Structure 1
Amino acid sequence: MTVGEWLRLWVAGKARLAPSTRASYTEHISVYIGPMLGNIPLTELSIRDLNDFYAALARRRTRFRGSTLTPGTVTRVHATLRAGLNAALRRGLIEWNPAREAEPPRRHRPRAVVWTEDLVAHWRTTGERPSVAVWTATQTAMFLAAVAEDRMYAAFHLIALRGLRRGEAVGLRWCDLDLDRGLCFITHQVQRRAGQILLGPPKTPTSVRAVALDRTTVKVLKAHRRRQENECRACGTVPSGFVFTRIDGQPLAPEYLYRRFVKLVAKHDLPPIRLHDLRHGAASLALQAGVDLKVVSDQLGHSSIVLTADTYVSVLPALAMDAAEATARLVAEAGQRAPGAKRVTQRKPNPPDPSGRGKRRRRSPRRPVPTGPSIPTRNTARSKIGFAATGKEVTA
């Protein structure tokens, strides 16, 4: 049995695969693994074969602008191959898994870059842009104000403020919303596979969550529902139950929302970002607003705050400035308390006297000097000893 034959048999036998995962495995096997490793006998596959395969993938050109495959794509292909070979190892078809010892290229998670004024000026001059970027709060507000009359405004507003994924927003149904209590329940997502729009579970089990909605977002969604009802009434159709649909009320493809977003960003001459970067921006803006990192992680549907902090949270300039000022203030206060440090104290000025004569300092009265016989003290015994020795009275 060859590598290609086993991998196709392995995918066909996995009945409990999500549609998106099955499509990803099938693409990796047919496009990448099959043409280069498919004819090698399964028992003769070596570490050298895999290392040469990964190196060739890294040099492979894509159909998009002639760029090469990203390390992330090569890493995902390696994961598919390793999972298939692990299954062959459990079946007893091979004695060891060479993918465990191979060296695929390391995947580095890109950190989101904030579109500062200097970076925007550099982009307008050279056309160079970061791979992952987020807007500031001002830029986000400018975009939402510019597209307020667009049909998909409510979707962009929801993603920008609450951080929904594209498939989660498109898969949202009116029965998943509780606008009276301000809650949004994420239970499904929409994906396009083989030309069909499929409704399936979210990306991960932790993605099933309840998202709190602010009052402004609730008003936006209510206005969107009235608009959707008027459009369906004009078309003579019945709404499908989804929140974001076509004019006739039928479900949207996730790609439509992405293409619409890119056109609107270019139309209003804003720094370019991806639709998924609105999700990055929602996490960063929530952090800037003082929201706890665990709350942000739950809002995004992550299983760990480490993933949220490492990938989806960008420290915005305003937040970084506050942190810098707080650190400098802490060091300055500690320096004033240090031994030998010169303390600078400022006396509060006296309030002005309306009479113009000024306020005199009040002096405490002197205590009267006591007269009469002396009062015995602790040194009385010492006084008697001094009198006996010298013949003179010693004052205690």
Structure 2
Amino acid sequence: MAFVRKTLAGRFRGVAKSGRVSLGSKTFDRRRDALAWAGQVETASAGGTDIRAGRMTVGALLPVWVEHRWETVAEKTAETDAELPGHLSAAFKARAVGAVTPAEVSAWLTRMLKTYSYGAVSRRRDSLSAFFEWCVRDRRIERNPVRAAPMPKRQAEQVEMNPFTETELTEVVKQIRTTSEHFADVVLLLGWCGVRWGEARSLRVSDVQQVPVPALRVRRSQSEGKDVKTTKGRAARTVPLANVAVPVVERLASGKKADDLLITGPRGGQLWNARFRHLTDWSDLGRGRRLHDLRHTAACMWLSRGVDLATVSAWLGHSTVTITNEYLHYLGTAADRAALVLLNDGGAPGVRDDEQETNDD
């Protein structure tokens, strides 16, 4: 049976045996690495899956796997994989890796889709699949349960974008202001500056600039329960502030030091989604919108007011204008709007109905 001895130098020697026959030993800096190596050697010698290793829980093995990923894959991939434990329930993590079924994985994917976008859930599935593939290679389990649990079909009626109109945004802000002046300002600012929720949570007073134009310097992001990291696009960007947003920023920054958080809760603490929703009655006053739709609102207002696509793409922090093009499809092209004017005005001047019939023939 595999076991570990501590050396005089403070390191750990994993020892693998088959009965009374020694299969070898190897020294490691960490005890768990030594034990894992010895177990792998014994399992390989037996020529099968280590059933005992399959009884280890998902939660116990995830930290080992995450550390392994930092050493073996690209940094961006490792960052995504490191977020996986936070998306698994305590019950899922308490399951033995050898007992997880495709049905459980499918149920997890379905629950995730109620909160996150299709693309985000697909990336989490890839991470979970990589974890179980690692367990297969480590001979802890025979097969990867994620392989038999494909992504649920994308719902045709799923709405990816549902921005407020400028009038709706004004009305919502006015309604929220009756119960929370502070959060009314937050909604107004997010609806005009287009920063993501995680980016808003990590903005500092020092990120507000006045020259050459009033703007926010978006440098970092912090998802709830996670450490501060770079923005999704992995690059800082500058978002100019419209006149309507300038006094809001001034109120939010009033009395604070340069390194203080710009956007906080009413009492100056960290901004939290659940508390925001509760104090604003967002489930009712939000009119069915997600908080992320405030970002979509800003983008659509910019484009409808004539800001060019490349500039909007830069303000949003998109890696390519192809992503920003989705907003144009939502709004309709200039040609669509011009054609609609013709339809509503009865057609182009000088074209008679009988001529139109001839052309149709």
Structure-1 separation of matches of 2:183 and 2:139:
53
Contact 1:192 1:253 (C-alpha < 8 Å) held by counterparts: yes
Which residue number in structure 2 is paired with residue 12 of structure 1? 67
User: Match for 1:24 among 84, 91, 105?
Assistant: 84
| Aligned length in residues | 292
Contact 1:167 1:254 (C-alpha < 8 Å) held by counterparts: no
- 1:316-346 CA deviation, whole Å, 9 max, x = no partner? 5998973442564999559949xx889xxxx
Instruction: Indicate how the Cα distance of structure 1 residues 174 and 329 shifts in structure 2: closer, same or farther if over 3 A, else same.
Output: same
Is 1:136 equivalent to 2:152 in the alignment? no
Which residues of structure 1 form unaligned runs of 5+?
Answer: 113-131, 233-237, 343-396
Is 1:158 equivalent to 2:189 in the alignment? yes
**SS of equivalent residue, structure 1 residue 104:** coil
1:240-389 map, 5 Å = 241-246=260-265, 249-263=268-282, 266=284, 271-310=287-326, 315=330, 322-326=337-341, 328=343, 332-333=347-348, 336=351
- 1:181-203 CA deviation, whole Å, 9 max, x = no partner? 2121101123332xxx7433223
Structure-2 separation of matches of 1:281 and 1:222:
22
Which residue number in structure 2 is paired with residue 118 of structure 1? none
User: Match for 1:177 among 205, 208, 230?
Assistant: 208
- 1:284-308 CA deviation, whole Å, 9 max, x = no partner? 2222222333322222212233333
TM superposition score normalised by structure 2: 0.61
Contact 1:162 1:282 (C-alpha < 8 Å) held by counterparts: yes
Instruction: Indicate how the Cα distance of structure 1 residues 270 and 321 shifts in structure 2: closer, same or farther if over 3 A, else same.
Output: farther
- 1:117-157 CA deviation, whole Å, 9 max, x = no partner? xxxxxxxxxxxxxxx63322211122234455712343222
Structure-2 separation of matches of 1:270 and 1:191:
21
Contact 2:132 2:146 (C-alpha < 8 Å) held by counterparts: yes
TM superposition score normalised by structure 1: 0.56
1:105: how far off? 2.0
Question: Which amino acid counterpart does residue 84 of structure 2 have in structure 1?
Answer: S
Which residue number in structure 2 is paired with residue 367 of structure 1? none
User: Match for 2:97 among 35, 38, 42?
Assistant: 38
Structure-1 separation of matches of 2:258 and 2:273:
18
Structure-1 separation of matches of 2:114 and 2:275:
26
1:279: how far off? 1.2
Identity %: 23
User: Match for 1:199 among 222, 228, 244?
Assistant: 228
Structure-2 separation of matches of 1:55 and 1:199:
31
Larger deviation, residues 315-324 vs 252-261: 315-324
